[in-house]
Amino acid sequence: MIAVIKKGTSDKQIENLASWLKAQGLDVHLSKGSTHTIVGLVGDTSKIDEELLESLEIVESVKRISEPFKSANRKFHPDDSVIEVGNTSVGGDIFAFIAGPCSVESEEQVMEIAKAVKAAGATMLRGGAFKPRTSPYDFQGLKADGIELLLKAKKETGLPIVTEIMNANHLPLFEDVDVIQVGARNMQNFELLKELGKTKKAILLKRGLANTLKELLMSAEYIMAGGNENVILCERGIRTFETYTRNTLDLSAIPLIHELSHLPIIVDPSHATGASRLVKPMALAAAAGGADGLMIEVHNDPQHALCDGAQSLTPDAFADVCSSVKKVLEVI
Amino acid sequence: MIAVIKKGTSDKQIENLASWLKAQGLDVHLSKGSTHTIVGLVGDTSKIDEELLESLEIVESVKRISEPFKSANRKFHPDDSVIEVGNTSVGGDIFAFIAGPCSVESEEQVMEIAKAVKAAGATMLRGGAFKPRTSPYDFQGLKADGIELLLKAKKETGLPIVTEIMNANHLPLFEDVDVIQVGARNMQNFELLKELGKTKKAILLKRGLANTLKELLMSAEYIMAGGNENVILCERGIRTFETYTRNTLDLSAIPLIHELSHLPIIVDPSHATGASRLVKPMALAAAAGGADGLMIEVHNDPQHALCDGAQSLTPDAFADVCSSVKKVLEVI
Amino acid sequence: MIAVIKKGTSDKQIENLASWLKAQGLDVHLSKGSTHTIVGLVGDTSKIDEELLESLEIVESVKRISEPFKSANRKFHPDDSVIEVGNTSVGGDIFAFIAGPCSVESEEQVMEIAKAVKAAGATMLRGGAFKPRTSPYDFQGLKADGIELLLKAKKETGLPIVTEIMNANHLPLFEDVDVIQVGARNMQNFELLKELGKTKKAILLKRGLANTLKELLMSAEYIMAGGNENVILCERGIRTFETYTRNTLDLSAIPLIHELSHLPIIVDPSHATGASRLVKPMALAAAAGGADGLMIEVHNDPQHALCDGAQSLTPDAFADVCSSVKKVLEVI
Amino acid sequence: MIAVIKKGTSDKQIENLASWLKAQGLDVHLSKGSTHTIVGLVGDTSKIDEELLESLEIVESVKRISEPFKSANRKFHPDDSVIEVGNTSVGGDIFAFIAGPCSVESEEQVMEIAKAVKAAGATMLRGGAFKPRTSPYDFQGLKADGIELLLKAKKETGLPIVTEIMNANHLPLFEDVDVIQVGARNMQNFELLKELGKTKKAILLKRGLANTLKELLMSAEYIMAGGNENVILCERGIRTFETYTRNTLDLSAIPLIHELSHLPIIVDPSHATGASRLVKPMALAAAAGGADGLMIEVHNDPQHALCDGAQSLTPDAFADVCSSVKKVLEVI
């Protein structure tokens, strides 16, 4: 970490700063140039509060040289992490196909979709039991009952299940859930992340709507710092000014995360685009770009069928995506 | 609410849609034009899931005419809400000056600042006890001890206190806190909002980094739908591509919120800009633009003093802001 | 186009509006609902100024049903456009590999790179002669001399050339240029677009840093409305809050543009990411997502070689990208 | 300027880099730390291409300490610039009220509005003759005739006039125009900026939709580097995800520009918000925040009057804004 000191700062002020930094266990190197003095900090700078340092009146600017994340950092863990999930895994050689309905609605629905996505090539079943909704008047999910239905589908099909948590107090309900999802709106719900860090569950951490990749890795760090290294990252689109898509899918996140971290990263093209007709091309692009898996919404419920289709893919369309993605995976 | 139906949709499909909508308690008006059919929905459309409707294959697009928020909506509550807070209030004729340190660090610190900001014109004391930090390795606040210190300062100065909550399980600690703050990163932590809706506490709800004003009002709606109407909104900057400021303060939020809602809105220029030298001009701008109050960081702690200043204002600079803001308030 | 009229508007005001709209050659359909009146407009609404209409005090909101672009619209031109460029083309079955240096610097440099990229699989040579630079003190390109050097390389290798124009007055210099590029910063330089519309040259139109896909298509429309239908669109990243990449590459632009328009769309992963190590994965992703071609920076100049590499790819790395992309193209 | 060199770079590579930088006239200071080597550059670093330097494979990152703008930089020109415009000026003690119609439509219209805004307190008349429109099918302005009408209004009222240029070839038409406006979409039309730098006209340079303040100042630098120091900056909103307003007005631009530059900055609340009811609060906020003036749309034309109002203010509403702003200016 480097701090550039403002012109005209007195030696005494610089010494004060250096003493304070040394007291925090860092080696401090002063480099006085003709125009500016630069303070180089060596040691565990992840404990230094960058914003506080930058806010000091004598500091012109601060630049981190080493990244502030440690457990998630590829530098200290060069091999790809492979997260075990039931009879399968995420990361390494296995490509994850996670599919299922947006919301669990009934036993019939979830059972039918589970079988259909398994036949189509899914390696895991996803489904929402607790649903984060912008409006308090929108359907909030079947909650505990929804998890029960997912577990029945798991028993029937053998597919590990992925479902979202919104409250650490609900953790007992997730005992038999294979992957616990943290949604975009909770990516910086640090209290929830800390509680998940105390478990050994695989955690699927979605990038927030306006969060940088560094912040995504820092949120993974919250979980890992608690002792749980089973983190799967998920790119699901960020918020921009473009209005034709719900969000802007940032696929450059894939090679960047692979460079910065050893954690696997999957892509959710359904939520990112908000349009079923864009799911296949973005799924292929994600696979070609090096993603470790995909999470795709697949439906089969009467409410949607009533009007002949919807945002989610049908099981047949999902099967087509799986086989096309596999062809791409073979050649890269 | 209006749904525009795609060209080439059969009458039977439209009837199916109309039946489904009627079953949800709405009046449905069909208007067949030469190119498109339009479905007009009258009734309590706040219960309609706009995204689901838009995702149907026969629907080209959906447009809300009435807003999806009810309790927060000025249409149903034309008068400004005035939120009582201890011996003062927010909204209506009183302009709130909320000031204090970013983090509560020691009894000496909080007591000294509390007295200083009171003398300078503050109507409430703010201070962080639970601190949401991007990094798990950064200081997370004094927690319960921090709240104790704030309560001591309240007793000493009479100033009502504002402090942030990050976990609904901590609510018992907030019993004597006057205003509970929900931070930007928790604006869509719906589980937390629901719990706060069950209390009668004044809630200071900060806008999320990438959240629209509609989403801010929907989050207020979560609290109000639970029975707690004491919500104060806070504009604190949104995330954009500009890098000279930490965030981009969106002051047009003030007249827009006043138009859409009866809830008061205050502005936090300290967090929005991240630079003490920008706090005064943005505080004056917020006051001139019609804000109901300001929340400003003021420090007096040795760690900052060590280096002769910091991002927060000194008590003297805060006193200058207060008197300048009051002059502006007198003329508008 | 639909205009929703505000509650409480008098019949006379609505009649005035209807008369004004009819006077502009449109059929006007009034639909009075229990809460709102809706005005439906049928005819050539591309002539209607949406912003003006929306700004009228009696209008609550306006919604376009048909797109405001005509010449670029796939509805009126269902087949993919194939743009002829010298001995090759862009769009349809041919995948374009456009490669070359950021700036043309010397005859030796451009000749060497041209031969290298041709050998590696390039179908066109790109190179900057007029360089738009944020700073007036940065290198602005070799200008006319740069174009001369590109033409020499074209003669030597047979590769058609692509180079950027910044001023319509320079058009005579571009007489033998095969594809004229309009850079992101000039995407809404409407005066330049109009002049290019009077030529028959192939135009490579890059998306602006903060422009929507609708605006990109409207800028294509400016060129096409003048009579030049040879437009190739280019996605090159948009500006967001993410800082690890220079811009955020929006690959969902590919299937969206293909849906909305018959024009081909290529992708520039070099400028979008600003990092050579991200070029290959993003090139593969673009190809898998359905792009009609790629534009990639390739260098071989001493200034870069001096320091062992740079943002651009080496010819060898570019050859590797070409062969990998071709494998992906075979399977999709 | 500081360049941080990557770990593992050989001494020879660093020497090569140092030689190359010295050859560009800079003093180079190497500082080898235990983990990283830092290259400090002293001299006229505005000539160094930051992007090129950052793209070198051995360079981890680059940090500018001094700003890349010189003529616009307050460091080299501590006093506020005052731009003379006809019988008035912008910057310093005079607050500019620039008002007029979006488009010049007829002699009657422009004359009537000119007299009305003068009576209300305007110090300059604005009006669009050349109109940049997203669609080629929208009204493009009266062009040369529009400028003629503005000049008539100037003669009649004595108000200096402000109008937009879109093409340097039109400069002869602007001979008697007092202030030439460069619109947001042309902020980085560098060819146009260079031509304006050769004149002595006052230039009103609007911030682009997705441009940083540094880029705005670099565009001012283009004009000033040509010898024309008469630049007035204008904040008019940037593009974000918020949809209630057309753009997000970034008022923190005011104190930041005043800190970084000696050039005056005015604010355009009409275009920023796109809603007449937001103009007054944002005008007051801009004045309180330290703006040097305002540019406000005022109309009086039958097309708008037909429907009882529009986005622009009426002359009466503008008079109210002027008197309220003056009250705010008196107290700050």
The whole-angstrom separation of Cα A271 and Cα C22 is 42
Residue B234 pLDDT greater than 80, yes or no: yes
CB C77 within 8 A of CB C69: no
CB D231 within 8 A of CB D201: no
What is the share, in percent, of chain C residues with pLDDT greater than 70?
95
State the CATH class of domain C83-331.
alpha beta
Q: Residue B23's Cα: distance from chain center in Å? A: 36
Least trusted range by pLDDT, from A51-55, A196-200, B234-238, C154-158? A51-55
The whole-angstrom separation of Cα B160 and Cα B164 is 14
Chain A residues within 8 A of B185 when measuring between CB atoms: 188-190
**C-alpha dist (Å) from residue D145 to D110, D172, D173:** 12, 13, 10
Residue B329 has a pLDDT of: 97
Residue C18 pLDDT greater than 90, yes or no: no
Residue D92 sits at the vertex; the CA angle it makes with D86 and D98, to the nearest 5 degrees, is 50
Residue B34 pLDDT greater than 70, yes or no: no
Residue B182 pLDDT greater than 80, yes or no: yes
Chain A residues within 8 A of B58 when measuring between CB atoms: 307-308
pTM: 0.91
Residue A2 pLDDT greater than 90, yes or no: no
Residue D301 has a pLDDT of: 63
What is the share, in percent, of chain D residues with pLDDT greater than 70?
95
- Optimal mutation site among A67, A241, A246, interface D, most CBs of chain D within 10 A: A241
Residue C82 has a pLDDT of: 97
3-state secondary structure D107-163: HHHHHHHHHHHHHHCCCEEECECCCCCCCCCCCCCCCHHHHHHHHHHHHHHCCCEEE
Residue C304 has a pLDDT of: 55
The predicted model gives C18-30 an average pLDDT of 82
Going by pLDDT thresholds of 50, 70 and 90, the confidence category of residue B130 is: very high
- Optimal mutation site among B250, B252, B292, B331, interface D, most CBs of chain D within 10 A: B252
Q: pLDDT of C294-304, one tens digit each?
A: 999 998 764 55
Pairing of strands D59-63, A83-85: unpaired
Going by pLDDT thresholds of 50, 70 and 90, the confidence category of residue C252 is: very high
Work out the mean pLDDT of chain B and round it to a whole number.
91
Angstroms from A6 CA to nearest CA on chain D: 9
The whole-angstrom separation of Cα A67 and Cα A46 is 8
Q: pLDDT of A261-311, one tens digit each?
A: 999 999 999 988 888 889 999 999 999 999 999 999 998 764 554 433 356
Q: pLDDT of A78-107, one tens digit each?
A: 999 999 999 999 998 999 999 999 889 899
Work out the mean pLDDT of chain C and round it to a whole number.
90
Residue B309 has a pLDDT of: 40
**C-alpha dist (Å) from residue C38 to B9, B139, C317, D195, D245:** 21, 56, 58, 49, 23
Least trusted range by pLDDT, from B11-20, B315-324, C282-291? B11-20
Query: What are phi and psi for residue D310, nearest 5 degrees?
Result: -165, -165
Helix (H, G, I), strand (E, B) or coil at D227: coil
Residue B303 pLDDT greater than 70, yes or no: no
Interface chains of chain A (3 or more CB pairs under 8 Å): B, C, D
Q: Does the distance separating the beta carbons of A59 and B190 come in below 8 Å?
A: no
- D315, D287, D312, D286: which is closest to D297 by C-alpha? D312
Query: Which string of b and e fits A57-80 if b means at least 16 CB within 10 Å?
Result: ebbbebbebbbbbbbbbbeeeeee
Q: pLDDT of C66-78, one tens digit each?
A: 788 999 999 889 9
Cα separation of the two ends of chain B: 38
Going by pLDDT thresholds of 50, 70 and 90, the confidence category of residue A123 is: very high
Q: Does the distance separating the beta carbons of B27 and C38 come in below 8 Å?
A: no
Q: pLDDT of D263-302, one tens digit each?
A: 999 999 998 888 888 999 999 999 999 999 999 999 876 4
Residue A302 has a pLDDT of: 45
The predicted model gives C310-317 an average pLDDT of 82
Going by pLDDT thresholds of 50, 70 and 90, the confidence category of residue A323 is: very high
Going by pLDDT thresholds of 50, 70 and 90, the confidence category of residue B40 is: confident
CB C57 within 8 A of CB D308: yes
Going by pLDDT thresholds of 50, 70 and 90, the confidence category of residue A35 is: low
Q: How many helices (H) and strands (E) does chain A have?
A: 11, 14
Q: Residue C276's Cα: distance from chain center in Å? A: 22
Interface chains of chain C (3 or more CB pairs under 8 Å): A, B, D
Residue D304 has a pLDDT of: 55
- C119, C125, C77, C127: which is closest to C101 by C-alpha? C127
Which residue on chain B is closest to D320 by alpha carbon? B332
- Where are the CATH 3.30.70.1140 domain residues in chain D? 2-63
From start to end of C67-160, where are the E strands?
A: 83-85, 88-90, 96-100, 124-126
Pairing of strands B124-126, B88-90: unpaired
Tokens of A71: 């457990």
Residue D309 has a pLDDT of: 41
CB A246 within 8 A of CB B50: no
Identity of the residue numbered A119: A
Interface chains of chain B (3 or more CB pairs under 8 Å): A, C, D
Least trusted range by pLDDT, from B17-26, B234-243, C274-283? B17-26
Residue A193 pLDDT greater than 80, yes or no: yes
What is the share, in percent, of chain C residues with pLDDT greater than 90?
66
Least trusted range by pLDDT, from B70-84, C226-240, C304-318, D156-170? C304-318
Contacts of C12 (CB under 8 A, 6+ apart): none
Query: Which string of b and e fits D31-69 if b means at least 16 CB within 10 Å?
Result: bebeebbbbbbbbebbebebbbbbbbebbbebbebbbbb
Of C20, C57, C133, the CB nearest to D308: C57
Going by pLDDT thresholds of 50, 70 and 90, the confidence category of residue D189 is: very high
Chain C residues within 8 A of A282 when measuring between CB atoms: 251-252, 255, 289
Residue A171 pLDDT greater than 80, yes or no: yes
Going by pLDDT thresholds of 50, 70 and 90, the confidence category of residue C197 is: very high
- Residue that wins the pLDDT comparison between C203 and D58: C203
The predicted model gives B273-285 an average pLDDT of 93
Query: What are phi and psi for residue B245, nearest 5 degrees?
Result: -110, 155
The predicted model gives B124-148 an average pLDDT of 92
**C-alpha dist (Å) from residue D271 to C242, D253, D313, D325:** 27, 16, 12, 18
Q: Does the distance separating the beta carbons of A328 and C328 come in below 8 Å?
A: yes
Residue C95 pLDDT greater than 80, yes or no: yes
Residue B33 has a pLDDT of: 65
Going by pLDDT thresholds of 50, 70 and 90, the confidence category of residue B302 is: very low
Residue C108 pLDDT greater than 50, yes or no: yes
- Residue that wins the pLDDT comparison between A7 and A97: A97
Tokens of A116: 């259909």
The whole-angstrom separation of Cα C184 and Cα C247 is 12
Long-range own/partner contacts, residues B250-253 (CB < 8 A, 24 or more apart) = B250/D240, B250/D242, B250/D248, B250/D249, B251/B282, B251/B285, B251/B286, B251/B289, B251/D249, B251/D251, B251/D282, B251/D285, B252/B289, B252/D245, B252/D248, B252/D249, B252/D272, B252/D273, B252/D278, B252/D281, B252/D282, B253/B207, B253/B213
Angle separating helix axes B315-331 and B279-288, nearest 10 degrees: 20
The predicted model gives D294-318 an average pLDDT of 73
Residue C57 has a pLDDT of: 75
Chain A residues within 8 A of D241 when measuring between CB atoms: 239-241
Chain A residues within 8 A of B17 when measuring between CB atoms: 306-307
Beta carbons within 10 angstroms of residue C316's beta carbon: 11
Q: Does the distance separating the beta carbons of D287 and B289 come in below 8 Å?
A: no
Residue B156 pLDDT greater than 70, yes or no: yes
Residue C284 has a pLDDT of: 98
Query: Which string of b and e fits B133-148 if b means at least 16 CB within 10 Å?
Result: bbbbbbebbbeeebbb
Least trusted range by pLDDT, from B97-101, D178-182, D274-278? D274-278
Residue B135 has a pLDDT of: 87
Pairing of strands C124-126, C96-100: parallel
Residue B19 has a pLDDT of: 85
What is the share, in percent, of chain D residues with pLDDT greater than 90?
67
Half-sphere exposure of residue C109, counting CA atoms within 13 Å on the CB side? 21
Residue C30 has a pLDDT of: 79
Tokens of D282: 């944002």
Residue A275 has a pLDDT of: 84
Residue A306 has a pLDDT of: 41
The predicted model gives C243-267 an average pLDDT of 96
The whole-angstrom separation of Cα C230 and Cα C234 is 13
The residue written with tokens 């007035």 in the block is: D232
The percent helix, strand, coil of chain D (3-state, each to 5) is 40, 20, 40
Angstroms from A242 CA to nearest CA on chain C: 5
Tokens of D221: 């630098």
Residue B52 pLDDT greater than 80, yes or no: no
Residue C2 pLDDT greater than 90, yes or no: no
Tokens of B189: 């932590």
- B294, B238, B240: which is closest to B270 by C-alpha? B294
Q: Does the distance separating the beta carbons of A306 and B49 come in below 8 Å?
A: no
The predicted model gives A237-243 an average pLDDT of 94
Angstroms from B240 CA to nearest CA on chain C: 5
The whole-angstrom separation of Cα D245 and Cα D167 is 29
Least trusted range by pLDDT, from B297-306, C8-17, C175-184, C230-239? B297-306
Classify domain B2-63 at the CATH topology level: Alpha-Beta Plaits (3.30.70)
Q: pLDDT of D88-119, one tens digit each?
A: 999 989 999 999 998 898 999 999 999 999 99
- Where are the CATH 3.20.20.70 domain residues in chain B? 83-331
- ipTM for the predicted complex comes to 0.90
